[in-house]
Amino acid sequence: MLDLYFVGSHPKEIAYKLQRNPKAVKRRVEQFVANERDRAVLYTPVARVSRKGHRWTENERLLLRSHVERKIPADVTARVLQRDIQEIAPKMPEDKIAVKECKILAPSMDLLLAARYSYLVYKKPVMADEEYDDLKAEEIEYGGAKHLVRHLVDPKDSPRRIKTLALYLVERKEDREKGSI
């Protein structure tokens, strides 16, 4: 029944296909959507079709919206929808969170130069290679310092503010790894 509902079928169509009462099918679907009597929480899927990677239907969006409003855990919603939990509540990798936090502290060009300096001089990367490449591509595409990014000079010739920022980022990462802050 849930497979048919999440594909986009109306409860009357489901009732016709399963030779059930339309009112009973509609009521059962409503119990899952509203999590009445913990129907969704206690649900254990049996012989279900996975919806991972498929386009979201309106019925799935309704259930998701209802579960978010009722603060039902994402793993429960994922189990009912037969989707990956990352599709329900995507998590941001820690490196991306760190880069976003750093963008608050410094302009992205200074952050880019400081990350480069810490990697080449201190031999301690402060962000993942992917994050550095994304930040560099973003600066080339949208930033005003395209010519600086394309012709980066020796990091030892960096301004003092870049060296200070690099030292700060390295020490901050070390403190987090130690668990002190």
pLDDT confidence of residue 18? 92
Q: What is the mean pLDDT of the chain?
A: 84
Residues 87-111: tens digit of each pLDDT: 887 665 666 666 666 655 567 788 8
pLDDT band at 170 (very low <50, low <70, confident <90, very high): very high
State the burial class of residue 148 (Cβ atoms within 10 Å of its Cβ: 0-12, 13-18, 19+): middle
- DSSP letter at 91 equals P
pLDDT confidence of residue 23? 94
Instruction: Tell me the C-alpha distance between 38 and 35, whole Å.
Output: 5
- Beta-carbon contacts of residue 99 (< 8 Å; ≥ 6 apart): 111, 127, 131, 135
Delimit the domains of the chain by residue range: 2-88, 94-178
Percent of the chain predicted with pLDDT > 70:
85
Nearest to 34 by CA among 71, 4, 8: 71
Nearest to 31 by CA among 83, 86, 87, 72: 72
Q: Which residue has the tokens 């978010």?
A: 68
| 157 three-class SS | helix
Average pLDDT (9-20) is: 92
pLDDT confidence of residue 181? 64
CB count within 10 Å of CB 180 equals: 7
**pLDDT exceeds 70 at position 146:** no
Residues 27-77: tens digit of each pLDDT: 999 999 999 999 999 999 888 889 888 888 899 989 999 998 998 988 899
pLDDT confidence of residue 134? 85
